[in-house]
């Protein structure tokens, strides 16, 4: 076991890991941040997406060692107290949720995108959403939710 430091949702943590530990294991098992979901464990579904130094990454295929010293943001870290982030609001308003297992992954992906490019084009949005799987919704409302989120973030609309 090795030891390292990383920052998760603004808080510094020291964690133990070995060669086989993945970032998702640190988040879910060691830090009890279970909002990040494991849908496949092989990088194909996006349910485990978190933000690492500003980039959306799939925590199930990121070796723990890669996260050393990094700033990680998870679904638990994007609200301010009880106030939802505009992307969360947009997903609720657009009805972009069914079982909710894929939801956090989508929200984190969009968070990374809109933080970097608040004016992301429809095509850019589609490109990031394409890397996620949702079995329930048929995608229509996720697509609507993503566009609403862009507008709400930009215009700082709160509900």
Partner 1 sequence: MDLQCIGKSILRTDAYDKVTGKAQFVADIKLPRMLYARILRAEYAHAKILSIDTSEAEKMPGVMKVVTAQGCDILFGACIKDQPPLATDKVRHAGEGVAAVIAETERQAEEATKKIKVNYEPLPYVIDPLEAIAEGAPIIHERNHEYFRVPGFPPVKGTNIFHHYKLRKGDIEKGFKEAEITVEENFYYPLLSHVQMEPHGCISYWDSPESVRIIASTQAPFIVREIVAQMFHIPMANIKVEALYLGGGFGGKSDVVIEPMCAYISRFVPGYPVKLILTRKEAFTSSLVGRGMRGKIKVGAKKDGKLVAIEASLYYADGAYGDTGCNVVTASGFVATGPYEYEHCKIDCYGVYTNTPPVGAYRGYGHPEAQFMSERIMNILAEKLGMSQQELMRKNFLCDGKVNAIGQIIRPGNGNLYKCLDEVEQALYEVPKPQEDENFVYGRGLAAFMKTPMMIPHASSGAILRMCEDGSFNISISGIEMGQGCQTVLSQIAAETLKVPLEKIHISKHVDTQHSPYEWQTVGSITTYRAGNAIIQACEKAIQKMLETVAAIYHRHIGDLKYEGEFITSKSDLNLRFETKKLAQAYLSPDGHGVGEQIVTGGSYLIRNVQFPHPETGQGNCAGTWTFACEGAEVKINKHTGDVDITHLAVAIDLGRTLNPSLARIQMIGGMMMGYGATLTEELIFDDRGKIKNANLNQYKIPKLSQMPEKFTVKFVETPDEAGPFGARCIAEHPVIGIPPAVLNAIKDATGVDLFEIPVKAKVLLEKMGGKK
CB of 55 to partner 1, least distance (A): 19
Q: Tokens 């060692």 appear where?
A: 65
The pair phi, psi for residue 32, each rounded to 5°, is: 55, 30
Report how far residue 97's alpha carbon sits from residue 118's, in angstroms, rounded to the nearest whole number.
Answer: 23
Q: Candidates 134, 146, 148, 152: give the one binding ligand FES (CB under 6 A).
A: 134
131 sits near ligand FES (criterion: CB under 6 A): no
Indicate which single residue of 15, 23, 58, 103 sits in contact with partner 1 (rule: CB under 8 A).
103
CA distance 155 to 22: 37
Is residue 20 a contact point for partner 1 (CB under 8 A)?
yes
Q: Answer yes or no whether residue 136 interacts with partner 1 by CB under 8 A.
A: yes
Smallest gap, in angstroms, from Cβ of residue 81 to ligand FES? Answer: 26
Which among 25, 42, 32 is positioned nearest to 9, based on CA atoms? Answer: 32
């Amino acid at each position: 076991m090795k030891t390292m430091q990383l920052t998760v949702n603004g808080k510094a943590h020291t964690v133990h890991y070995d060669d086989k530990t993945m970032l998702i294991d640190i988040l879910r098992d060691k830090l009890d941040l279970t909002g990040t979901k494991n849908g496949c464990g092989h990088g194909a579904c996006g349910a485990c997406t978190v933000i690492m130094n500003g980039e959306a990454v799939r925590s199930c295929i990121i070796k723990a060692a890669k996260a050393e010293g990094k700033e990680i943001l998870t679904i638990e870290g994007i609200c301010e107290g009880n106030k939802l982030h505009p992307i969360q609001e947009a997903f609720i308003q657009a009805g972009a949720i069914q079982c909710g297992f894929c939801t956090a992954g989508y929200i984190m992906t969009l968070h990374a995108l809109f933080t970097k490019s608040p004016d992301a084009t429809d095509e850019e949005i589609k490109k990031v959403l394409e890397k996620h799987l949702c079995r329930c919704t048929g995608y229509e409302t996720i697509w609507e939710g993503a566009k609403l989120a862009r507008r709400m973030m930009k215009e700082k609309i709160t509900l």
